[in-house]
Structure 1
Amino acid sequence: MTTPTLAGSALMDSSISPPKLRISGDWTLVHYHHLKAQLKQLTDRYDNRTPVDLTNLGALDTAGASLLVELFGCERVSQLAGTAPGLSSSSRALMQNIQVALSDFCEPLKEPEQAVGMQLLLRIGRAVDTVWQDTLQLLGFIGLILETIMLNLPRPKRWRVTSVISHIEQTGLDAAPIVALLTFLVGAVVAFLGATVLKTFGASIFTVDLLGFSFLREFGVLLTAILMAGRTASAYTAQIGSMKANEEIDAIRTLGLSPIELLVVPRILALLISLPILTFVAMVSGIIGGAVVCAVSLDISPALFLSLLQTDIGVQHFLVGILKAPVFAFLIASIGCLEGFKVSGSAESVGAHTTSSVVQSIFVVIVLDAVAALFCMEMGW
């Protein structure tokens, strides 16, 4: 037969002087709410000098011990656990453990909420700092690349021709069809829009000039660079990032080899060769696409189209476009390789830095192209 439990109580015995606080019954989770109500009634009726009688204390668990700590405080409970007569060893040990746990507990402070404007300024500041740090890292990485190239120039035995040719095939030859198709379609669209707008003014013939200027100076190199930023920079980052995750780059350093010389320089040289060639392909394809639309919609024969192109478009426009290609190629390859070296070792990091390399490459290409266009316009080129 189960022994019935006696609800705990905390009563102030005022029949004696000084009054004594008598703790009795079971201080367990079952009687928690009843005991909590009694504690509220005892508020301001006792202090640290009030005598306490724990002789009739029955069962005690962690909930009851925490209420005793709430009633007397951590320091007084520690004193009672050590000196109170008639207290069982298990109750004494439990009171001491709860007292230590609650005395070490510190309720976390809620951080004050910041205003929306301050949060916006903080995010802008962090973004600016990130851009600045990435710029410094890129400049330092470019310095390492140029140093490695200059050191290896007088030593032909260290040139990795096979690796360069392999990367030229991957970045140049394999990308030629998509570049040609894309620029052909863009040339057709530009010619169609030019013909539609210029026809209103009776100047449809100037569609040829529009095509020549746009593709030789801007569209040819810009579209090709953006394609290479999405295709080649991401590939470079994924390749080097995977090697970083598999600790292959650490193995290269252990063997006394330079990762810059072995992995970066061949990719840089390959894109330096491929991008100008692809830019030329893009220029030709775009002009051919425009010529097709002119022949179909404007009755401008290919012979007349070429004659107008030769008469009105100077060679300097071709040079302005083609000379931007090596600069874009160097920056795209550098950013792609640098982001690969930043990979921390997980597949998630490889994906994040691959995305970052594409975004950074496209951003740098568009900004530099805009700056070059403004400079050439001011110089009259």
Structure 2
Amino acid sequence: MPLDYSDPEGRTAQIAVLRVPARGKSKGPLLLNSGGPGGTGQNFAVQTDTALAESAVTERFDLVGFDPRGVGASKPAISCFSKEDYLAGDVRTELVLTAGRFSEDSTRRLVSKCVQGSGGEQHLGSVSTRDTVRDMDILRSALGGKKMNFLGQSYGTRIGALYAQQFPGNVRTMVLDGAVDPHLGSERRLSQYSGFQRSFDKMAEACATAEDCPTMRGIRMSDELVKTHVRKWLAANVAVQTSFRTKVRDLEASGLLIVDGSQIGSYDKDNRADWEIRDWRTGKVLASGHSTFDGMNEVLVQVDPDQRFRFLDRLSEETELPDPGATDGLPESLAEALVQWLEEKADVAEVAEWLGEPAEVIDRQMRNEVDAARAEGARNQVTA
């Protein structure tokens, strides 16, 4: 693609594309964009093909995911942070969960870093929604599509709307899911979260009158029935922790080296990242590097040619997860949600207060088997 559409004979940009052929007779390409901005379209195409494996959509259309300019495997790529920034954790942007407070000076410094890391002002200036729209029309033609079929979500709806505005005669079908208001500025987050709340309120209102809604069965998070189920899960989790720590001790006694690996920072465009491998008990670094996951394994084999090592997390995957047995009369979906809440989101103090148990007891019961093994290893190390 032309890097600058005002200079079509000048420098070029490369757009990464993944095409998943239709399972039957194809009606042509269906371009996909999951939003962002910054979402990789190639991954979205694979995910959509998997989710719609038995759908008429995958039967009749070739799914086409593309990484828009500056995203994923497309060139030029936007890069605002160095490896040192990632290692230091200094990667704040306006994205959710990474946002920080920006002054005018800090904003200018960030923009300057983006310009430097992205190949200069011309490269960064060529990454726009309208450039993406023009790239899409070239992709449509190159893939043999007479008219555009497009599915866009979130920010992808903005891309679709601009495409229809710029190339109205080239549109066959469009699905714009979760439309973005282009007139919103910095208040777009507040508008989005307000929309989430309205959707939840409507769901809760509908649930209150639905016969098959769990709340209609008299089940509440405060009910003793739910607490009984949670107590069973916690007891089962303690049993798994004990079994796991025994397994770790037995493997160590046989001469096996238990190692603990960690990734430092994020993967780069070549799917490489900084990593360390440590003796999980002593914390001694056995190997480190910057490579793919396979490259890490190769280095580890060099450290221990006889491969007398096992990853602590891998042992966890081999340990059977706690199962309190029957759902105790709860709807299965609610029982599963409770387990997910305990494993991923629950706060120890919150659960302890809810159950009326000491926080230290609940902490021991909630800790997963890997954390329990690490805690025991740390205690033994201090004792030694």
TM-score, structure 1 as length reference: 0.23
Compare relative contact order (CA 8 Å, sep 6+) and give the higher one, 1 or 2.
Answer: 1
TM-score, structure 2 as length reference: 0.22
